[in-house]
Amino acid sequence: MTSLESEISTNFTQQQKPGVTVWFTGLSGAGKTTITRALEQELHSRGCKVEILDGDIVRENLTKGLGFSREDRDENIRRIGFVSQLLTRNHVIVLVSAISPYTVIRDEVRQRIGNFIEVYVNAPLNVCEKRDVKGLYKRARAGEIKNFTGIDDPYEPPTNPEVECRTDLETLEESVSKVITTLEELGYLRKSGSD
């Protein structure tokens, strides 16, 4: 088989798979964006159709104008969930990266989408705060940002996620591999190397 035939074959077979939303939840700085970007590369290399919906980017367009009250946070998640649902039913693997601190709304989008994998990106608050990737924890501690998750706003951890990534204890590669294995086991992704 030529490489072009091989690529066409991979794409054809992968597209027979159902779509799925892989929903990454966790504190700011826990590693959601880092993992979804690495995962996207791996999935592209396997010929998958992938879209990332990243909370920070979504808040600049789809949910622009929403704040951080409980109501606005829920509306943010509901809109992301709606787009994810459309993409999922069109055989896309959707990677959502959003703090999504509240259990009830996460469960609501899970029910609505159906093909749904929850990934708890778990690093202790003190680790996230030490990383302080965007300098937001410092500003929240200084009182410059209000309602900051983990500081003066709650985070409700998932009770039964399909995957948990302890980014303070495992490597990025290990986290990506856990998600890939779960996608394979649940039938959303062809096992690497299988026909």
Which active-site residues does the annotation give?
100
Q: Helix (H, G, I), strand (E, B), or coil: what is residue 148?
A: coil
β-pairing, 93-97 with 20-25? parallel
Q: Which part of the chain contacts ligand ADP (CB under 6 A), choosing from 62-70, 111-119, 146-154, 168-176?
A: 168-176
Structure tokens at 58: 């979504």
Q: Which is nearer to ligand ADP, 20 or 95 (by Cβ)?
A: 95
Q: Which of 39, 56, 11 is nearest to 165 (CA)?
A: 39
Taking CB under 6 A as the rule, does residue 159 contact ligand ADP?
no
**175-194: which residues touch ligand ADP (CB under 6 A)?**
175
Among 17, 78, 79, 131, which residue interacts with ligand ADP (rule: CB under 6 A)? Answer: 131
Structure tokens at 191: 């096992």
Work out how close the CB of 6 gets to ligand ADP at its nearest, in angstroms, rounded to a whole number: 31
Ordered alpha helix ranges (H), 32-145: 32-45, 55-58, 70-88, 103-113, 125-131, 136-141
Taking CB under 6 A as the rule, does residue 14 contact ligand ADP?
no
Work out how close the CB of 171 gets to ligand ADP at its nearest, in angstroms, rounded to a whole number: 5
Taking CB under 6 A as the rule, does residue 34 contact ligand ADP?
yes
Q: Which residue has the tokens 């989408």?
A: 113
Q: Which part of the chain contacts ligand ADP (CB under 6 A), choosing from 23-31, 65-73, 155-163, 178-186?
A: 23-31
In order of 5, 28, 127, 132, 155, the CA distances from 150 in angstroms are 50, 8, 12, 13, 6
Which residues contact residue 126 at a Cβ distance below 8 angstroms, ignoring those fewer than 6 apart? Answer: none
**67-106: which residues touch ligand ADP (CB under 6 A)?**
97
Q: Which is nearer to ligand ADP, 14 or 36 (by Cβ)?
A: 36
Binding site for ligand ADP (CB under 6 A): 26, 28-35, 97, 121, 131, 133, 167, 170-172, 175
